Amino acid sequence: MPPVFDYSAYSATYQERPEYVPSVIRSMLRTAGVRPGDLVCDIGAGSGHLTEPLLEYGLRVEAVEPTAAMRATGERRTARFGEVTWHNGTGETSGRPSGHYRLVTFGSSFDRTDRPAALKETARLLEPDGFFACLWNHRDLEDPLQARIERLIHERVPGYDYGTRRTDQCPVIEESGLFESPVQLSGRKVFRLRADAWCDAWASHATLGEQAGQKFDEVLDGIKELVRGAGEEYIDVPYVTRAWIARANREGAGW
């Protein structure tokens, strides 16, 4: 089991990241057949990027996040909702009750787990016929500015690797034997964002921060220079949200 990663150093700007593509969230919830009032467990909830739209849909959410600083940000962000509670825990050991949830979600967090162990924990948490879902926001690297940023990253951090976050999640889900074949969803949206805020949000990029090490600030400065070169207060940034959703397999889950 991997160590619990401490996101404290990345928490200050994490909430500056753009939202998930709304059409993908709607399709995910429609596929899971959840209705307002259903109970959801959002694991690796961070600063509430996925928790908030789940609450806006009318779901009751128990958010699980191991990093105290991120959890505090998420609590503030979702304080206006009455149907949310926040808890310390991980994808492998959530500390939440068995057979309790209609849907268990991992927003940009499934890759930070021992995925087979997290799937086993998810199957324990779900009601019969409940659903697992994982999703990520990816910058569209075919966009000219994003392609330049990507080249800069690889020049400054040779061998830079996104890990499993940009890979197909179907094999690990299917190999678990705990879920039916996943449904894959994706959607693209161009976000018009303040250039300075978007640059600041890069400071929350833990995958890059880990691999860049002492060069992290240098990489961030390089990204800012590229964005400033566009000479605009706002920039258009295309994102693709990719999601995988799968119904629990009753026989595989041991019901």
Which pairs from 205-212 meet CB under 8 Å and 24+ separation?
205/10, 206/5, 206/7, 206/10, 207/162, 207/163, 207/165, 208/153, 208/157, 208/160, 209/9, 209/10, 211/157, 211/159, 211/160, 211/161, 212/156, 212/157, 212/160
Q: From first to last of its 255 residues, what are the pLDDT tens digits of the chain?
A: 444 555 555 545 556 678 999 999 999 999 999 999 999 999 999 999 999 999 999 999 999 999 999 999 999 999 999 999 999 999 999 999 999 999 999 999 999 999 999 999 999 999 999 999 999 999 999 999 999 999 999 999 999 999 999 999 999 999 999 999 999 999 999 999 999 989 888 887 888 988 999 999 999 999 999 998 878 899 999 999 999 999 999 765 544
pTM, whole model, 2 decimals? 0.91
Q: What pLDDT does residue 205 have?
A: 82
Q: What pLDDT does residue 14 have?
A: 55
Q: What pLDDT does residue 255 have?
A: 44
The pairing of beta strand 39-43 with beta strand 60-64: parallel
Residue 200: CA atoms inside 13 Å, Cβ hemisphere, count? 11
